[in-house]
Structure 1
């Protein structure tokens, strides 16, 4: 029987750093915890991690703060990537701490497959484990795919939540048993991500030093080969040459002048037109993306691989921007009827940004009609169902808390 204080669920994080998977999973955890039927807690392997040339501390992370504000207990094993720990091994102290946390839970969630190396240790107690997957490229996940397959073979996994059809298809093709795979589509908080009124949009543009009538393209991603930022920069060069009042905003970890690789990308792409660079804005990590999207005409994605259901496309569209994406993961189905899919030619991408901005008002009705299917309420209900089923089908036989 479940205790009176509800089903207890422990989420394992590799760490807290900027990224859509962490934002989405934290939304799910906070939502389920506040609903009251489940009690959630989080155990992070690292308390700080260096990603995209930035040392990101758990206690500074907006996801951490949001979880704490929702009443979710968040702790860590105290690791830092700066200390040079062997990621494949754990100390007796770390294993004992992880075991204590898991023993107090009915069900364990693993945010992506990387924390499963901890679950696969002999010291980790028997609990139904649900792996939550957010990419469509298992072949690029290093040893994590092997960890996932070992957990499945050992009977550790009660279920695997995939955020997109492309995720399910890719992992099934990689050898993951199909009966474990469940698709729960990504969703967002529609009260936060919504269009701004005309007057507010103009005021926000003024506050960000952007013209009231220029086309604004926003790119929200971390600096990573998967995201293909060099292609975005080349497309920005073409776009800004054709649109004298146009501006391109680059947001995310590593999207700042402190990143020498991005600076080199810009220098190469704009070598023949350095005068255009003033309208390319390197904004770094932003915690007010709903405002950035609300002043944008287009939200752009140029990823080369790995995407599943990119949150930036959904968030941008629900704030009134037209999504324009390369054909990765479920992106084409996400932007169907509300946006555009391009190839990987920078001139084509730039031309599509211009067309998308011109048709923004025309597509408003379709964006409004699409809002219900992107609600985080549906997503949270989907996760709740998978968790409760995992406990009912396997957890009641193995859990005594």
Structure 2
């Protein structure tokens, strides 16, 4: 498309996580629209995180982006490669940047590459999705370096807590722009069909209370706290079940197994990569689901969506998505969680009994919170978010010094993956808003 602004996003890699899901929403919402053409560079073509090996071509976000016609480049780094960037890698990225008008980085980690390249004045926008810059190590110093060297033209903060934290840590406030997270309201909605299907597949009775914990196995998520609260909750409600989904939420993760054993909890592994138990085995009440590509169905099957994070959260998608599917959000007071759940759910103290009783209270007030969510669901739409990203990209590009770049220059040494290189399924046609 002649005259389109060319925008390149840079990822560390493709792996399960809310920030990549959200960024994929932004890219597919803007690509080919509003005068923008988007592409992407992934530094790694495979990632190992939370006891899960994740090849790029198998990732749901990658397949969605490729299916929507975005070109995805990769430097081809392996899962365990952490060596400094080579001169060849920096040169390849510099050549790719020369064909770009604006560069986006998903979080601050890719700035380690960006700061070493010749950008020829191309503006950089960092997309920040956490509220703990002090825990980002050298990546935060790369962000500060980009800001004070003049490379960083703007930073998107997905929450007020993100802006406050990064401003307090020394990032110039004029660079920080808050764009709240939003989701697809057509996809995330209550569904009787999904509720029955998931519960039936997992052996959960139709009327059983269910709490879902959607998170990767990471220290910030405080999985031991969730499990301790689950033990209290299951003791108080013998008819209840809990579901854990996300990277590392399988019996293949020794850390999770140790957490369960320490609390005397038995779990049934029902993740896609694990074999099911023998027929006739009594169903467990702690369900390990691993990485799922149907979060809307998992949330619709639950009555409560829980978050027990200790730090780092900004605007967790699990709370928004779960709430829109009919589950009451109950969270610890981190990041912007309190403002997200206000009037729609509960904030609880980070203590097992307090969380368990908050889940029970949420069950008792489910009808009230469901009505509130129904009235206010449009405030969480991704439409405003995508428009705000598009506007900031345009404004940033207009303020920059525009230097035309040669078109069609081959990127030496990188691997380019497009829809033609994989059998990518067509985009899913979503149902209209309503209860299915």
What TM-score comes out, normalization by structure 2 length? Answer: 0.87
Q: Is the 8 A contact 2:267 2:288 kept in 1?
A: no
1:238 equivalent to 2:232? Answer yes
CA–CA distance in structure 2, aligned partners of residues 222 and 400 of structure 1: 40
CA–CA distance in structure 1, aligned partners of residues 283 and 202 of structure 2: 17
Within 5 Å, give how 1:94-173 maps onto structure 2: 94-173=89-168
Q: Is the 8 A contact 2:93 2:117 kept in 1?
A: no
Q: Secondary structure at the match of 2:399?
A: helix
TM-superposed deviation, 1:309: 0.2
Taking structure 1 as reference, are residues 24 and 178 closer, same or farther at Cα in structure 2, changes over 3 Å only?
Answer: same
Structure 1: 4+ residue segments shifted above 3 A: 122-125, 271-274, 398-401
- In structure 2, which of residues 365, 368, 371 is the aligned counterpart of residue 362 of structure 1? 368
- Residues paired across the two proteins, number: 393
Q: Secondary structure at the match of 1:75?
A: strand
Structure-2 residue corresponding to 1:27? 25
Structure-2 residue corresponding to 1:205? 199
Deviation by residue 1:200-221 (Cα, 9 ceiling, x = unmatched)? 5334422332111110000000
- In structure 2, which of residues 235, 240, 248 is the aligned counterpart of residue 254 of structure 1? 248
CA–CA distance in structure 2, aligned partners of residues 358 and 120 of structure 1: 53
> Looking at both structures, which has the greater relative contact order when contacts are Cα pairs under 8 Å and sequence separation is at least 6?
2
Structure-1 residue corresponding to 2:171? 176
CA–CA distance in structure 1, aligned partners of residues 119 and 227 of structure 2: 46
Deviation by residue 1:297-349 (Cα, 9 ceiling, x = unmatched)? 00000000000000000000000000000000000000000000001110010
1:229 equivalent to 2:235? Answer no
CA–CA distance in structure 1, aligned partners of residues 243 and 14 of structure 2: 24
TM-superposed deviation, 1:5: 4.2
Taking structure 1 as reference, are residues 127 and 200 closer, same or farther at Cα in structure 2, changes over 3 Å only?
Answer: closer
Instruction: Please give the root-mean-square deviation of Cα atoms over the aligned residues, in Å.
Output: 1.8
1:284 equivalent to 2:278? Answer no
Q: Is the 8 A contact 2:104 2:124 kept in 1?
A: yes
TM-superposed deviation, 1:273: 12
Moved more, 263-272 or 93-102: 263-272
- In structure 1, which of residues 375, 379, 385 is the aligned counterpart of residue 385 of structure 2? 379
Q: Is the 8 A contact 2:134 2:140 kept in 1?
A: yes
Unmatched tracts of structure 1, length 5 or more: none
Taking structure 1 as reference, are residues 36 and 394 closer, same or farther at Cα in structure 2, changes over 3 Å only?
Answer: closer
Structure-2 residue corresponding to 1:388? 394
Q: Is the 8 A contact 1:118 1:124 kept in 2?
A: no
Q: Is the 8 A contact 2:91 2:117 kept in 1?
A: no
What TM-score comes out, normalization by structure 1 length? Answer: 0.94
CA–CA distance in structure 2, aligned partners of residues 118 and 90 of structure 1: 7
